[in-house]
Structure 1
């Protein structure tokens, strides 16, 4: 392999992918859709069709590898297993996340939590929408859904900020940070405490009845909590950033509330909360004319695939009327399609609808740069907004 083979990929730096990845990803998608990225020590897939191919073929591109970043932090789980093991880990948790059950069981919870958080913010006339609304909403809902008890949303959010940082650090090639391991130990303690209380059924007790071991229940509960907070918080924050940052579109959506669901899909397409997912080649394989060797890291850029002009016309344009916005890969694809996709969609649609209804004049703080950033998990670091109190 020579510099001449992948000249763009060899110049990519991780900070570029974390801060403003779209220009380099667009160039890679055209010239090197399967490119070797020395900064990551692996291949990067940037074209939509190739991304789908990798994600739906776990026999060739697996998550079941000791290098998988999330499993290094929280252990083996449905997120880091394939085949029969993946099905055994996932099945006990799947029932409540069916779209109909989400609507029937959790819509009222999401609405009540959203209303409470907005009511607490409203008199102030301004807030950090990520830290004071999106994060607490996601944490309150998923801890209730999973059945985690006697722990505050603030504590869980702090743990998961630390765990997300640890996962990103491993993805960037570093070791598991001590703080990440400590944060996971707090999650483990909280899950065990909840498992030991059988006064009412929960996802945790159902998993125990399905004969998952305690370490398996803990790791899978951590995955659900992680996805339910980290990516849902990012979905809400990114949707708000795109809508509030486009005055004409904001006016349209205020006048046409029926556009909110598609606006959410479009914001996920533009800026997926989980930007990159890793796989490992189980055999030597050719992909788009490139020879990939067994054991190689093969990363799919969801961010790049979601802006592929072969699928999405004018892909860099935020278009809430886009007819195929829902074809985005923000929830992945194939056997690892996000278990909580319907819950995340429900939370984000209710959140944005209520924010626009109940905070008149809602707008970005004029001093807000607040563009999404992050190598693995992309969202604004803060999202200061104002409204008419």
Structure 2
């Protein structure tokens, strides 16, 4: 066992796991989101229950909302942040946590990752990388993304996730970051193993495996940084390693997050989009007649079955939200998947409709200062990838039972068997 692993699991997941299970046994709805396997398989009836109950529902562990207006407000309000590690812990637990962090690997949900730090630190990190992800810079990648799709689709896919949906985004982000293409499948494996860290209350065995894989990514990245310092290229990581104001930990956190975020959600977007279009041939027929709607089809996929289902914010100072007074340190869970099917915003929200006029009003890319840095890239990869997939293989259909991922925060397919 790695040093401190058990302590880190206890402070990050163990105590929370016990609390979730205890609250679920007492009928707490928010706890059921994490404890009930049926909710993981199909969370949308659960979101409807939360949405109908109240704009903001208080549970034993946290507040929750599945309403679009309230979720959007908590994402934009600077009274709420992502600095969960700054919350006060009971003295013995805090001491153990600080001690265990000395040997902790740096993953996507560990400071100083942009995902879990607030301004001004977040602002500084984001400024360093944002120029690579501007709309103009991303649009400049269109020819490269089209060539990558063409190369991947020369071989008929048998598993749409493994053979296409996973390889397209990891190839693109690897090139942006200067990561060798022969590492693509290895990073996919590491990323899939680390993805559960976004969930709450992981069992110890799962957490231990995520730490092992994150540590392997850290070790490989340190070696890669050394190579780029000796032989820099034109990629983003070559630029970052030359900066004097980024520590090794900050480099690890930034590079690891960009790499993981660069393919994790887009894999889910492509797989889910393909699945929905195979299940709704009438919608695919619309896109064949009106190909200018492919961009909107991506937005509707994001709305209908979001790759990121929930996100959470911690109250930094006393705040009013949806008529409730939220105390500092209290957590609010924004159920993005539920907000995206709010009937107050989207007519017939449980219907998949690629012509939906306001599909882009979804919250799948979060909001506020933590709005997804790679949103434009995900949209472009989704549009090009899905269009070229169905143009190349118009008879594409499911061939067996798809298998969904076991994660709750991230939603998508682990396996999607198809035939041409």
Indicate whether the TM-score tops 0.5. yes
Superposition deviation, residue 9 in structure 1: 4.7
Deviations 1:70-93, CA, capped at 9 Å, x for gaps: 968543221111111111111111
2:154 — aligned with what?
A: 119
Separation in structure 2 between the aligned mates of residue 166 and residue 25 of structure 1, nearest angstrom: 22
- For structure 1, the 5+ residue unaligned runs are none
2:327 — aligned with what?
A: 293
Contact 1:147–1:194 (Cα < 8 Å) also in 2: no
Deviations 1:147-168, CA, capped at 9 Å, x for gaps: 2237521100000001102332
Separation in structure 2 between the aligned mates of residue 316 and residue 374 of structure 1, nearest angstrom: 22
Deviations 1:249-292, CA, capped at 9 Å, x for gaps: 11221222211111110000001101111111113333223343
Aligned counterpart for 2:354 among listed residues 301, 320, 339: 320
Separation in structure 2 between the aligned mates of residue 17 and residue 279 of structure 1, nearest angstrom: 21
Contact 2:401–2:416 (Cα < 8 Å) also in 1: yes
Aligned counterpart for 2:167 among listed residues 128, 136, 142: 136
Aligned-residue Cα RMSD (Å) equals 2.5
1:89 — aligned with what?
A: 125
Contact 2:81–2:314 (Cα < 8 Å) also in 1: yes
Contact 1:92–1:206 (Cα < 8 Å) also in 2: no
**Residues 99 and 349 from structure 1, CA distance in 2 versus in 1: closer, same or farther, beyond 3 angstroms?**
same
Contact 2:365–2:372 (Cα < 8 Å) also in 1: yes
Separation in structure 2 between the aligned mates of residue 352 and residue 150 of structure 1, nearest angstrom: 22
Separation in structure 2 between the aligned mates of residue 332 and residue 381 of structure 1, nearest angstrom: 23
**Residues 295 and 217 from structure 1, CA distance in 2 versus in 1: closer, same or farther, beyond 3 angstroms?**
same
Separation in structure 2 between the aligned mates of residue 100 and residue 16 of structure 1, nearest angstrom: 42
Aligned counterpart for 2:309 among listed residues 275, 286, 299: 275
**Residues 232 and 88 from structure 1, CA distance in 2 versus in 1: closer, same or farther, beyond 3 angstroms?**
same
SS at match of 2:413: coil
1:193 — aligned with what?
A: 223
- Note if 1:381 corresponds to 2:414: yes
Superposition deviation, residue 342 in structure 1: 0.9
Separation in structure 2 between the aligned mates of residue 265 and residue 150 of structure 1, nearest angstrom: 29
- Note if 1:51 corresponds to 2:75: no
Aligned residues: 373
Separation in structure 1 between the aligned mates of residue 67 and residue 307 of structure 2, nearest angstrom: 18
1:260 — aligned with what?
A: 294
Superposition deviation, residue 207 in structure 1: 2.1
1:248 — aligned with what?
A: 282
Deviations 1:144-190, CA, capped at 9 Å, x for gaps: 1112237521100000001102332xx23656812212211222233
**Residues 178 and 9 from structure 1, CA distance in 2 versus in 1: closer, same or farther, beyond 3 angstroms?**
closer
Deviations 1:186-235, CA, capped at 9 Å, x for gaps: 22233223322233132113223442112101101111111111101011
Contact 2:319–2:327 (Cα < 8 Å) also in 1: yes
1:18 — aligned with what?
A: 40
SS at match of 2:154: helix
2:15 — aligned with what?
A: none
Superposition deviation, residue 306 in structure 1: 0.6
Deviations 1:16-47, CA, capped at 9 Å, x for gaps: 43111101211211213322344xx2221211
Separation in structure 1 between the aligned mates of residue 167 and residue 288 of structure 2, nearest angstrom: 24
Contact 2:83–2:118 (Cα < 8 Å) also in 1: yes
Q: Please identify, of 232-241 and 206-215, the stretch whose mean Cα deviation from structure 2 is larger.
A: 206-215
